[in-house]
């Protein structure tokens, strides 16, 4: 068993709310475990052997309330100090990235170097106190953790600034770098004009639930309308996901076959064939399958999930050979695997697709944050940058979809996992509680980070306009009454800057934008 001491105001905590807590193993996959709190200790009872790291939502001073983790730790009788182990992991991540990114030559007066030095001194102080005065060690380690996360985000932004300017100066930016998702029934001319003028491509959903509300009875009018408009406006379309088992995408009549894999497979084959045949002219890129690896709605086996993925990609290749085929990774940090033994960890799923020679062109990495739903608990910029790097090692192009809300998402906005089951809406936040300002600064920082990676071909915001069926409430760039948010204006400015001759503007919160000092992060001020 792993045990962690937690403190509150210098004393062992009497109450400690565990949120988004789970263990991960040496392969970065979530582990089966029971994580509880009692008597000032977080107790982690593993069901698997080997070292493990604790991941949980944690308040990190001015950096926000984020899901972060410890290093891999062996079991021992005496408890670890939670804040000390969280700080140890963050410092390790910083040094790993300094080496991987070739940035060890930072000058001593560089703001990132100053913050790293402060974090290192605080960590040394905590180490010296952790046996004799654990409460004082917790205080120093908590300060170290804030400084280290602040430094790591600055490092991620500084690295992104270098790479993005390099891509721009060498003319290696993608042809269609910035896109947005849309709602099929929001087809007002004002919305369409904004899309045509300010984005390079559209991510058009093709939900099976909307296309075939009754078995065998397809309704193509909404998608036809958008495809025809996009052709006139010369807007490229990424269509899909064609196959998804999310409740919002699956017709009700399919559930009668949920225990009959062969029938579901045949129905998916027919649906994919109809959709691709109808739009294979105007659509050049297909998001074929989304989140099949999560496997949390239908009782499919490991082999069946892989077979469905292979079948869908092969069928699209056969019907539309000139198109590009993408597979969407949802919940890419893989929390779901700790509770769902039928699922496949995201990195393992990606590796299996590549090693088994599934014929596809790239991944869509979907990163939605800011809602108390699986996979949507906020992470910091360094974690997101490191995750994108991990998916860049497979030799496939990467397409990133982003989204955070412009206001805190309340309990009433969150779909309960079961009828009448209470929902805890406190999923955390980045820097400050979600607002239009925080959303806009997170957007700018993440577009810099994602688009700086040489293997990233496009970055899309999840939804252009707020609407009732939106996956992440309040995450649109425009409100339901069609008033643009500050994030929309910031994205327009970022897109324009990509083609400017001068260096790209520094993202809000980077070392050149803020004076050095503890916890002056991307959404500070």
Question: What's the 3-state SS for 192-234?
Answer: HHHHHHHCCEEEECCCHHHHCCECCECCCHHHHHHHHHHHHHC
Domain end (from 117, 134, 162): 162
Rounded to 5°, the CA angle 254-467-483 comes to 165
Per-residue pLDDT for 515 more than 70? no
Residue 325: is the preceding peptide bond cis (ω within 30°)?
Answer: no
**CA–CA separation, 413 vs 116, rounded Å?**
39
pLDDT, position 465: 97
Q: 84 lies in a domain?
A: yes
- With residue 178 as reference, give the H or E element that holds it: strand 178-181
Q: Is residue 375 part of a domain?
A: yes
Among 464, 284, 442, residue whose Cα is nearest residue 367: 442
In tens, the pLDDT along 91-128 reads 999 999 999 999 988 888 899 999 999 999 999 999 99
pLDDT at 416: 53
Does the residue 254 lie in any domain? Answer: yes
Over residues 413-426, the mean pLDDT reads 62
Q: Average pLDDT in the 328-341 region?
A: 95
Q: Are residues 232 and 149 in the same domain?
A: no
pLDDT for position 502: 60
How confident is the model at residue 298, as a pLDDT?
87
**Residue 253: both structure tokens together:** 């009549």
Last residue of a domain, one of 102, 129, 162: 162
Confidence of residue 521 (pLDDT cuts 50, 70, 90): very low
What's the confidence (pLDDT) of residue 420? Answer: 52
Assigned domain for 510 exists: no
Please give the Cα distance from 238 to 254 (Å, whole number). Answer: 25
Same domain, residue pair 60 and 196 = no
129 shares a domain with 204: no
Query: Quick one: 192 and 113 in the same domain?
Result: no
- The structure's pTM equals 0.93
**In the structure, what pLDDT confidence band is assigned to residue 400 with cuts at 50, 70 and 90?**
very high
Same domain? 118 vs 191: no
* Pair 276, 240: CB distance under 8 Å: no
Q: How confident is the model at residue 346 (pLDDT cuts 50, 70, 90)?
A: very high
Locate 280 and state its tokens.
């294979």
Same domain, 47 and 178: no
Residues 186 and 149 in one domain: no
pLDDT attached to residue 240: 93
Look at residue 511 in the predicted model and tell me its pLDDT.
Answer: 41
Q: How confident is residue 357, by pLDDT bands cut at 50, 70 and 90? A: confident
Q: Which of 252, 239, 248 is nearest to 182 (CA)?
A: 239
189 domain-assigned: yes
For the chain, how many helices (H) and strands (E)? 12, 20
Residue corresponding to tokens 């239908």: 298
Over residues 29-53, the mean pLDDT reads: 94
Q: Work out the percent of the chain whose per-residue pLDDT is above 70.
A: 93
- Is residue 519 situated within a structural domain? no
- The pLDDT confidence band at residue 88, using thresholds 50, 70 and 90, is very high
The pLDDT confidence band at residue 421, using thresholds 50, 70 and 90, is: low
pLDDT at 38 over 80: yes
When divided into structural domains, the chain yields a total of 2
Q: Residue 63 carries which DSSP code?
A: G
Reported in sequence order, the residue ranges of 396-510 that DSSP labels E, i.e. its strands, are 397-403, 429-430, 456-461
Burial of 222 (0-12, 13-18, 19+ CB in 10 A): middle
- The chain-wide mean pLDDT, for the chain, equals 92
Burial of 38 (0-12, 13-18, 19+ CB in 10 A): exposed
pLDDT at residue 104, as a whole number: 86
Distance (Å, whole) CA 472 – CA 444 = 19
Cβ atoms within 10 Å, residue 421:
7
Reference 93, options 523, 125, 122, 101; nearest CA is: 101
**Which parts of 107-211 fold into alpha helices (H)?**
111-129, 134-169, 189-198, 208-211
Q: pLDDT value at position 448?
A: 97
CA distance 56 to 368: 18
Residue 408: what pLDDT?
94
Query: Given a cut of 50, is residue 71 above it in pLDDT?
Result: yes
Do 155 and 207 have their domain in common? Answer: no
pLDDT of amino acid 365 = 98
Residue 44 located in a structural domain: yes
Instruction: Verify that 279 and 416 share a domain, yes or no.
Output: yes
Last residue of a domain, one of 117, 132, 162: 162
Q: Percentage of residues in the chain with pLDDT exceeding 90?
A: 83
Per the CB < 8 A criterion, the answer to whether 255 and 285 are in contact is no
Residue 299: is its pLDDT beyond 90?
Answer: no
Asked if 227 and 283 touch (Cβ cutoff 8 Å), the reply is yes
Confidence of residue 417 (pLDDT cuts 50, 70, 90): low
The arithmetic mean of pLDDT across residues 218-241, rounded, is 96
Asked if pLDDT for residue 504 goes beyond 50, the answer is: yes
Question: What is the pLDDT at residue 119?
Answer: 97
CATH number at residue 327: 3.20.20.80
Same domain, residue pair 239 and 149: no
Co-location of 230 and 264 in the same domain:
yes
Looking at the structure, tell me whether residues 283 and 333 fall in a common domain: yes
Reply yes or no: is the peptide bond before residue 248 cis, omega within 30 of 0: no
Domain that holds residue 101: 2-162
Residue 485 sits at the vertex; the CA angle it makes with 153 and 384, to the nearest 5 degrees, is 25
According to the model, what pLDDT value does residue 524 have? 37
Q: Give domain status of residue 249, yes or no.
A: yes
Strands 80-81 and 2-5, by their bridges, are parallel
What would the pLDDT profile of 316-329 be if each residue is shown by its tens digit?
999 999 999 999 99
Q: For residue 412, name the pLDDT band (cuts at 50, 70, 90).
A: low
Mean pLDDT to the nearest integer, 178-199: 95
């Amino acid at each position: 068993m792993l045990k962690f001491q937690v403190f509150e105001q210098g004393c062992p905590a009497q109450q400690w709310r565990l949120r988004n807590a789970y263990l991960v193993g040496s392969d970065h996959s979530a582990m089966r475990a029971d994580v509880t709190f009692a008597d000032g200790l977080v107790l982690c009872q593993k069901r698997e052997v080997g070292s493990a790291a604790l991941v949980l939502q944690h308040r990190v001073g001015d950096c926000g309330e984020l899901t972060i983790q410890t290093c891999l730790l062996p079991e021992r009788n005496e408890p670890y100090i939670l804040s000390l182990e969280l700080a140890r992991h963050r410092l390790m991540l910083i040094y790993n990235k300094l080496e991987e990114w070739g940035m060890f030559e930072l000058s001593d007066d560089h703001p990132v170097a100053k913050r790293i030095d402060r974090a290192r001194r605080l960590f040394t102080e905590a180490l010296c106190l952790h046996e004799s005065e654990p409460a004082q060690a917790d205080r120093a380690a908590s300060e170290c953790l804030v400084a280290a996360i602040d430094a790591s985000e600055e490092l991620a932004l500084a690295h992104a600034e270098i790479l993005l300017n390099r891509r721009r100066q060498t003319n290696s930016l993608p042809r269609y770098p910035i896109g947005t998702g849309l709602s099929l029934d929001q087809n007002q001319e004002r919305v369409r004009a904004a899309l045509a003028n300010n984005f390079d491509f559209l991510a058009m959903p093709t939900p099976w639930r909307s296309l075939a509300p009754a078995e065998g009875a397809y309704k193509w009018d909404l998608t036809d309308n958008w495809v025809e408009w996009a052709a006139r406006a010369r807007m490229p379309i990424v269509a899909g996901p064609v196959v998804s088992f999310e409740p919002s995408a699956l017709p009700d009549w399919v559930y009668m076959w949920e225990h009959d894999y062969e029938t579901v497979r045949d129905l998916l084959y027919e649906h994919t064939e109809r959709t691709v045949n109808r739009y294979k002219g105007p659509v050049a890129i297909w998001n074929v399958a989304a989140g099949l690896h999560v496997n949390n709605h239908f009782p499919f086996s490991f082999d069946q999930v892989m077979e469905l993925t292979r079948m869908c990609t092969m069928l699209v290749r056969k019907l539309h050979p000139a198109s590009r085929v993408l597979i969407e990774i949802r919940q890419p940090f893989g929390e779901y695997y700790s509770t769902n033994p039928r699922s496949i960890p995201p990195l393992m799923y990606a590796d299996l697709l590549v090693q088994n020679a599934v014929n596809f062109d790239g991944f869509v990495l979907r990163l939605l944050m800011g809602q108390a739903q699986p996979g949507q608990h906020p992470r910091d910029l360094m974690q997101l940058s490191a995750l994108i790097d991990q998916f860049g090692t497979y030799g496939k192009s990467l397409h990133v979809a982003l989204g955070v809300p412009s206001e805190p998402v309340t309990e009433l906005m969150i779909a309960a996992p079961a009828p009448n089951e209470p929902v805890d809406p406190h999923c955390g936040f980045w820097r400050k509680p979600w607002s239009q300002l925080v959303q806009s600064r997170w957007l700018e920082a993440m577009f810099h980070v994602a688009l700086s990676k040489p293997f990233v071909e496009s970055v899309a915001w999840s939804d252009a306009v707020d609407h009732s069926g939106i996956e992440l409430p309040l995450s649109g760039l425009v409100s339901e009454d069609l008033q643009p948010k500050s994030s929309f204006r910031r994205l327009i400015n970022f897109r324009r800057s990509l083609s400017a001759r001068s260096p790209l503007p520094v993202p809000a919160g980077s070392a050149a934008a803020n004076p050095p000092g503890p916890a002056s992060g991307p959404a500070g001020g």
